[in-house]
Amino acid sequence: MLKKIEVAQLRVGMYVQELCSSWIDTPFWQKSFMLNDFEELKKIQETSIRQAWIDTSKGLDVLSEKEEKIQRQPEPEPAPAPEPPAIVVPPPRPVISPVSMDDELGRASVIVSKSKQAVYSMFNEARMGKAVDVGNAQTMVEEIADSVMRNPGALIGLARLKTKDDYTYMHSVAVCALMVALAKQLGLSEAETRDAGLAGLLHDIGKMMVSADILNKPGKLTDAEFVSVKEHPVAGYKMLKEANGVSMTALDVCLHHHEKMDGTGYPRRLKGDEISLFARMGAVCDVYDAITSDRPYKQGWCPAESLRKMAEWSNGHFDDKVFQAFVKSIGIFPVGTLVRLESGRLAVVVEQQIGKSLLLPKVRVFFSTKSMAYIAPELIDLSRPGSSDKIATREDAAKWGIKDINRYWLGDAANNR
């Protein structure tokens, strides 16, 4: 039976179903866990968390008044009257309101960092043959989805800034966020949106069965190595089938996110309508994050250039309607894209304008191509009435010798990287 208690009532041997706090504020990445030792209890008591849900069917119940008095003094006390059964009322989900990029970046940074650690733990447990804890994965998805609902550019932009070493884990976080943004753009329900996010988080778990030497190989894969990599969707599907509570959507996306609309994908060479909507979504989100990320064998492409390349592949690879919705969800010039304005200034895209033209994002100018010199960074809203400047074209940072354009869209958050 679930019971809500004060943190002061927690004791070793209890099964904690959920701490009454945001996941990012807890000292554990698991949502539910057995309280095994006094160190874990001390960690909880040192936080600002005041209440918790416990499951008395899986662990100890709270001490009765009699037991508490026995612990303090040996005199026997009369047993208390039995308490009525606790009524479990799930708390209502808070309304998510949009916020600015500056307001969300700090919060998104914490979520990205903790999600990476959690995915690392979850995937490595899967590598060792342990069942996937879907409940804990869903907790991650909730935090990621809430951040995307507040401001999609913040977490999606941060998740793109992965290193070559943490690519496998951060790729899963990024695809989760992209799936949520795409589901929202497609008008899917809240439950379907969260389901899409979970599918994105778990879609590549089968790569835990592929040798790390192959995944991180800097050169071209041999035919045998490529065959090994192509086995990861089936391997992941089998792993998720053994876990409790994995949705059909997550299983489907895990198995079919490498299928192509023209039937040339793998593992089953599905074609057209044989591929589900969620698998089509997974294909787009997976490819976008892969080609915009730095890998051991290549440098990541600019976000806007990546969309241009994907548009060229769209007829055979992607579903056109899903791809068009994806572009709308992240913008024609996604966050982090280097552009040249009609005024001759270089700028980096900082934020998309919800409900406004995809061609008029917020940008931060920092370089003049006329004087060939850096200028004081300035944030400009291209959609503001009276704004005379517009984006002329996308630019290549290497052409201008700009080594780190990310610091210009990150703003103050760049100091925390």
**Mean of the pLDDT values across residues 161-170?**
85
| CA angle at 221 for the pair 220 and 224, rounded to the nearest 5° | 155
**Mean of the pLDDT values across residues 71-78?**
52
Q: Quick one: pLDDT at residue 111?
A: 96
Read off the pLDDT of residues 399-409 as tens digits, 9 standing for 90 and up.
998 888 888 89
**Mean of the pLDDT values across residues 254-273?**
96
CA distances, 402 to each of 126, 161, 405 (Å):
41, 16, 7
Coil, helix or strand at residue 364: strand
Residue type, 43: K
Nearest Cα residue to 186 out of 355, 323, 360, 352:
323
The H or E element spanning position 95 is none
For residue 290, is pLDDT > 50? yes
Q: Which fold has domain 101-330?
A: Hypothetical protein af1432 (1.10.3210)
| CA angle at 307 for the pair 301 and 312, rounded to the nearest 5° | 110
Beta bridge partners of 329: none
| CA angle at 298 for the pair 337 and 171, rounded to the nearest 5° | 70
Residue type, 158: L
CA–CA dist 10, 261 (Å, integer): 54
For residue 365, is pLDDT > 50? yes
CA–CA dist 9, 48 (Å, integer): 15
Number of Cβ atoms within 10 Å of the Cβ of 202:
30
Q: Quick one: pLDDT at residue 146?
A: 96
Name which residue leads in pLDDT, 47 or 260: 260
Q: Quick one: pLDDT at residue 86?
A: 55
For residue 84, is pLDDT > 90? no
CA–CA dist 71, 67 (Å, integer): 6
Q: What is the dihedral of CA 219, 220, 225, 227, to 10 degrees?
A: 150
Q: Quick one: pLDDT at residue 75?
A: 47
Q: Quick one: pLDDT at residue 16?
A: 87
- The alpha carbons of the chain give a radius of gyration, in whole angstroms, of 25
Answer whether 0.85 is exceeded by the pTM: no
For residue 415, is pLDDT > 70? no
Nearest Cα residue to 314 out of 323, 306, 305:
323
Read off the pLDDT of residues 104-114 as tens digits, 9 standing for 90 and up.
999 999 999 99
For residue 88, is pLDDT > 60? no
Domain residue ranges in the chain: 2-72, 101-330, 338-416
CA–CA dist 60, 11 (Å, integer): 8
Q: Quick one: pLDDT at residue 134?
A: 86
Beta bridge partners of 341: 391
Number of Cβ atoms within 10 Å of the Cβ of 241:
11
Residue type, 183: A
Share of the chain above pLDDT 90, in %: 58
Q: Quick one: pLDDT at residue 305?
A: 93
Coil, helix or strand at residue 368: strand
